[in-house]
Structure 1
């Protein structure tokens, strides 16, 4: 059957001109071995798909899985999701010449912060998600804050999943198939603006790194206030001490001088 398909494809390419040739390969966390394939006459691009999944069991225990797929172009698109405990991304690169997709390792994901922050969590229920949510810095093209529900096989929390985090716009429309990433979203809603996906009155867990930075700033401010207070107190003590140690004789002499000035003005002879 495969031989028959190859013969038909070759005849089609001969009849209609030349068909594009692309490399094919697939590998997880390792370089892939390239093979050559001839694409259908309707395909004009070779495609490289680089994807990455990072899962955090805690702050120090995490796993990174990178995958590369080389092929003739099929419908696909870039996307990215970050919840604090889970990060997934997919990047598509196209080229249009024969065997142009010769990359053997996945491209690294875009982890450049873009200034947007959203609340993030990834738990088995709404209650546990709200109780453990934290602020998440969005990266790359993530331009929406997201709330979602569905099923998962990424973390040992059971199959049901509730999430909050940062996402690219296309994830907000349930238009991206995430089953290859062990995720299946059944509900999703997105909003624009910093921290717009937070529930009022809910308990939030601050990001540890940001919490340490805030604590350092508070300590510095307290030190500056304390130093200013100590300096002001020392200046007051110095002024009070200077007045207290003036010699009595000096004060008496000043008084006598004022007395003589007063007496001398009374005894001054009148002019004729």
Structure 2
């Protein structure tokens, strides 16, 4: 048994990926624990995705660990801005074997300098529409992202809409469809990116009537966490 495991580990280190085992988990905070899963063909690294979501000055961290491909390891840092003080920054780290015991991942530094581009942005939880505003993109955010669907977590279903500025790294892999991981399932009916617009001639922070991204009652604090969890699409 031990000899077979040793051969399997050696094979994984030789980049076949067929016997690599990685911890699978998702959670709030800066760490999570879960069972080891044998990675599939092409999944040759263990990945850690760490997200810091900020809403009205309040920060929420989410972490995801699972098998990933080498291309997913090269995704690079992710930055998204949904307007009204709602932003997310994500870092990805990859490892194999003992290195995973000490691997740490950090989010990219905040870049608040406008880059001359803009998108229509909004966010809402438990509603089928949200009022948009024009928001200024910053730093590496060169795409407009549009995500909508239903997320099921802890037996509760939440309809979510998120629109705003995003970096190219998240748009390269995001797609609509269904996925399930670590007790959380998402059915994304919309998941797409389009090129940003020049800000010339566009009024910034122009809001239609009604609250932008209003999440009534105690649902509000869930939005930053949900934004982080939706980044499971990076690993779909």
TM-score w.r.t. the length of structure 1 is 0.46
Q: Supply the distance in 2 between the matched residues of 1:38 and 1:178 (Cα, whole angstroms).
A: 17
Match of 1:119 in 2: 120
Match of 1:91 in 2: 91
In the alignment, structure 1 segments of 5+ residues that lack a partner are 1-6, 207-272
Q: Supply the distance in 2 between the matched residues of 1:172 and 1:15 (Cα, whole angstroms).
A: 32
Task: Tell me which structure has the larger Cα radius of gyration.
Answer: 1
Match of 1:227 in 2: none
Contact 1:83 1:164 in 2 (8 A): yes
In the alignment, structure 2 segments of 5+ residues that lack a partner are 14-19, 209-236
**Which of the pair is proportionally richer in strand?**
2
- Counting only pairs closer than 5 Å after superposition, residues 25-64 of structure 1 correspond to structure 2 as 28-31=28-31, 45-54=44-53, 56=55, 59-60=56-57, 62-64=58-60
> SS of the residue aligned with 1:50?
strand
1:204 paired residue among 203, 206, 219: 206
- Counting only pairs closer than 5 Å after superposition, residues 121-140 of structure 1 correspond to structure 2 as 121-123=122-124, 124-126=127-129, 128-130=130-132, 133-140=133-140
Question: Measured at CA, do residues 191 and 161 of structure 1 come closer, stay the same or move farther in structure 2, by a change above 3 Å?
Answer: same
Higher relative contact order, chain-length normalized (CA < 8 Å, sep 6+):
2
Question: Measured at CA, do residues 192 and 138 of structure 1 come closer, stay the same or move farther in structure 2, by a change above 3 Å?
Answer: same
TM-score w.r.t. the length of structure 2 is 0.51
Contact 2:95 2:103 in 1 (8 A): no
Contact 2:118 2:134 in 1 (8 A): no
Question: Measured at CA, do residues 167 and 88 of structure 1 come closer, stay the same or move farther in structure 2, by a change above 3 Å?
Answer: same
Count the aligned residue pairs: 184
Match of 2:196 in 1: 193
Q: Supply the distance in 1 between the matched residues of 2:160 and 2:34 (Cα, whole angstroms).
A: 37
Coordinate RMSD, CA, aligned: 4.9
CA deviations on 1:139-176 (whole Å, 9 max, x unpaired) are 44x3211334323579xxx9333332012445477427
CA deviations on 1:177-226 (whole Å, 9 max, x unpaired) are 78768864312443323368x9x9998149xxxxxxxxxxxxxxxxxxxx
Q: Supply the distance in 1 between the matched residues of 2:43 and 2:161 (Cα, whole angstroms).
A: 40
Question: Measured at CA, do residues 13 and 171 of structure 1 come closer, stay the same or move farther in structure 2, by a change above 3 Å?
Answer: same
Q: Supply the distance in 1 between the matched residues of 2:81 and 2:146 (Cα, whole angstroms).
A: 11
Q: Supply the distance in 1 between the matched residues of 2:34 and 2:150 (Cα, whole angstroms).
A: 34
Q: Supply the distance in 2 between the matched residues of 1:90 and 1:19 (Cα, whole angstroms).
A: 27
Q: Supply the distance in 2 between the matched residues of 1:150 and 1:171 (Cα, whole angstroms).
A: 17
2:4 equivalent to 1:11: yes
